Amino acid sequence: MGIAVIPKGGHVLDKFESPASELPAVEFVDVSKSFGALRVIDNLSLRIRRSERVSLIGPSGSGKTTILRLLMTLEKPSEGTIKVFGGALSAGGRGLRESEVAPLRAKIGMVFQQFNLFPHMTALANVMEAPVQVLRMPKPDAKALAESLLERVGLKEKGASYPSELSGGQQQRVAIARALAMKPQIMLFDEITSALDPEVIGEVLDVVHSLAHETKMAMLVVTHEMGFARDIADRVIFMEKGRIVEEGNPAKLFASPDNIRTKAFLNAVKR
Amino acid sequence: MEGKGANDMTFSLQTMLDVLPALLRGTVVTLQATAAGILLALALGLFLAIARRGSNRAIVVVIDLFVTVIRSTPLLIQLYLLFYVLPLYGPSLSPLVTGVLGLGVHYSSYLSEVFRAGIDAVPKGQWEASVALQMPRAKTWCRIILPQAFRIVLPQIGNYMISMYKHASLLATITVVELLGAALNYAGETFRYLEVLTLVGVIYFIIGYVFSRIIKYIELKLAY
Ligand SMILES: Nc1ncnc2c1ncn2[C@@H]1O[C@H](COP(=O)(O)OP(=O)(O)OP(=O)(O)O)[C@@H](O)[C@H]1O
Ligand SMILES: [Mg+2]
Chain A contact present for B128, CB below 8 A = yes
Contacting residues for A219 by C-beta, under 8 A, at least 6 apart: A52, A53, A54, A186, A187, A188, A189, A208, A211, A212, A232
What pLDDT is recorded for position A6?
A: 42
Chain B CA closest to residue A127: B133
Distance B132 CA to ligand 1 centre (A): 19
Could you tell me which of A185, A171, A269 has the C-alpha nearest to residue A229? A269
Residue with the smallest CA separation from ligand 1 atom 3 is A35
Contacting residues for B91 by C-beta, under 8 A, at least 6 apart: none
Q: What is the pLDDT of residues A31-50, one digit of tens each?
A: 999 999 999 999 999 999 99
ipTM here? 0.89
3-state secondary structure of A155: coil
Distance A240 CA to ligand 1 centre (A): 12
What pLDDT is recorded for position A20?
A: 62
Q: What span, in angstroms and rounded, lies between the C-alpha atoms of B44 and B80?
A: 21
Beta carbons of B134 and A130 less than 8 Å apart: yes
Provide the shortest C-alpha distance from residue A72 to chain B (in Å). Answer: 6
Ligand 1 residue neighbourhood (C-beta within 6 Å): A 35, 38, 40, 58, 60-66
Instruction: Give the atom of ligand 1 at the shortest distance from the alpha carbon of A222.
Output: 22
CATH architecture, range B13-223: Orthogonal Bundle (1.10)
Q: Quote the mean pLDDT of chain A.
A: 91
Secondary structure (DSSP) of chain B:
-----TT--S--HHHHHHHHHHHHHHHHHHHHHHHHHHHHHHHHHHHHHHHHTSS-HHHHHHHHHHHHHHHTS-HHHHHHIIIIIHHHHS----HHHHHHHHHHHHHHHHHHHHHHHHHHHS-HHHHHHHHHTT--HHHIIIIIIHHHHHHHHHHHHHHHHHHHHHHGGGGGGGT--SHHHHHHHHHHHH--HHHHHHHHHHHHHHHHHHHHHHHHHHHHHH--
Q: What is the pLDDT of residues A191-204, one digit of tens each?
A: 999 999 999 999 99
Could you tell me which of B160, B165, B163, B157 has the C-alpha nearest to residue B33? B165
Q: Which of B133, B143, B146 is the best mutation test for A, with the most CBs of A within 10 A?
A: B133
Distance A65 CA to ligand 1 centre (A): 7
Q: What is the pLDDT of residues A86-107, one digit of tens each?
A: 999 998 877 788 888 999 999 9
